[in-house]
Structures are given as structure tokens and as C-alpha cells.
Amino acid sequence: MNFRRQSKFAKADEPEINLIPFIDVLLVILIFLMLSTTYSKFTELQVKLPVADTDAQRDYPKELIVSVSSDGRFVVNKAAVEGRSVESIAQALVDSNKAAGRPAKDTVVIISADASAAHQHVISVMEAARRVGMAQITFATQRSEAGK
């Protein structure tokens, strides 16, 4: 036990702020925000996606985005497709996939169809993907107001 009194003239220890832990926490927050940020993907067509309560959007390294407008136009990876037949869509899928230099079986086809697009247009894209051997298909949606 220390019973000694401090003298009046003794300098009291001033509190010191250590900035190192503060900087460490800020860097961890910054890294977390950078990794959890989703980037919007822009396409040639302005489409209004259907609404669904979904999990967070995933990025696929070998993706091929096919946009379908409400009037039946198709865009494959920002390149407009001439014609509306299944054969022309299939050829556009093959050309875009060859440009990326990857096998068709490893490619994920993301169909980004307008909410008011005809069901037949979406089925045409699915049929074209099946014909060229692309079996992995997913659909792009937007979150509903209730799901946020």
C-alpha cells in the first residue's frame, strides 16, 4: 500500500490518446465496405426487372448477361442481337463466349429480362443456351421494397 501523499507540485500524468488501434479499426471497416459493395451492371437496354425477395447478388467469374427488352429485343454482353430467332440468339451466345475464350459448359447465363417482356422471349433465350451447351442459367431480379 502506498500511503505517500503526492506533493502539490508533482505533475499529474496526462492522458495520452493512442491512435494506432483507432487506425486499425478504420482500416478493417474500410476493407469490409470495399468487399461488401455491389456494383451495378449497366446494359444497352433499359429493363425493369421483376421483383423478388432474394439473397445478395452474386458475381460469377464466367458470366454471360443476356438482356431482354419488353418489345423483344435481345442484347448479349452489351452487343445487340440481329434478329429475334433462337438461332440468332444462339449464334450471339457462341460469338460472345468465344470472344471471352471459355468453354460453354463453364459459362453462367444470366437472363436480365424486363418485367413486362413476353414469356416466349425468355424461353427463346433458354432454348438458345441449351442448344449451345450452356446449362447454368440464372435470372436477374431486383429486391422488393418489403425485402429491404
Specify the pLDDT at position 41. Answer: 56
Tell me if 71 is assigned to some domain: yes
Q: Which residue has the higher pLDDT, 89 or 106?
A: 89
Specify the pLDDT at position 146. Answer: 56
Give the Cβ contact number of residue 31 at 10 Å. 10
Specify the pLDDT at position 65. Answer: 87
How many distinct structural domains can be found in the chain? 1
Domain span at residue 87? 63-139
d(CA 135, CA 139): 13
d(CA 76, CA 65): 6
18, 108 Cβ separation under 8 angstroms? no
Specify the pLDDT at position 27. Answer: 94
d(CA 10, CA 141): 70
Q: Does the pLDDT at position 5 exceed 70? A: no
The string of pLDDT tens digits covering residues 40-52 is: 555 555 666 666 6
Tell me if 15 is assigned to some domain: no
Tell me if 120 is assigned to some domain: yes
Tell me if 79 is assigned to some domain: yes
Q: Which residues contact 20 (CB under 8 A, 6 or more apart)?
A: none
- Terminal CA-to-CA distance of the chain, rounded, Å? 60
The CATH number of whichever domain residue 83 belongs to comes to 3.30.420.270
The string of pLDDT tens digits covering residues 11-41 is: 567 778 888 999 999 999 999 888 887 665 5
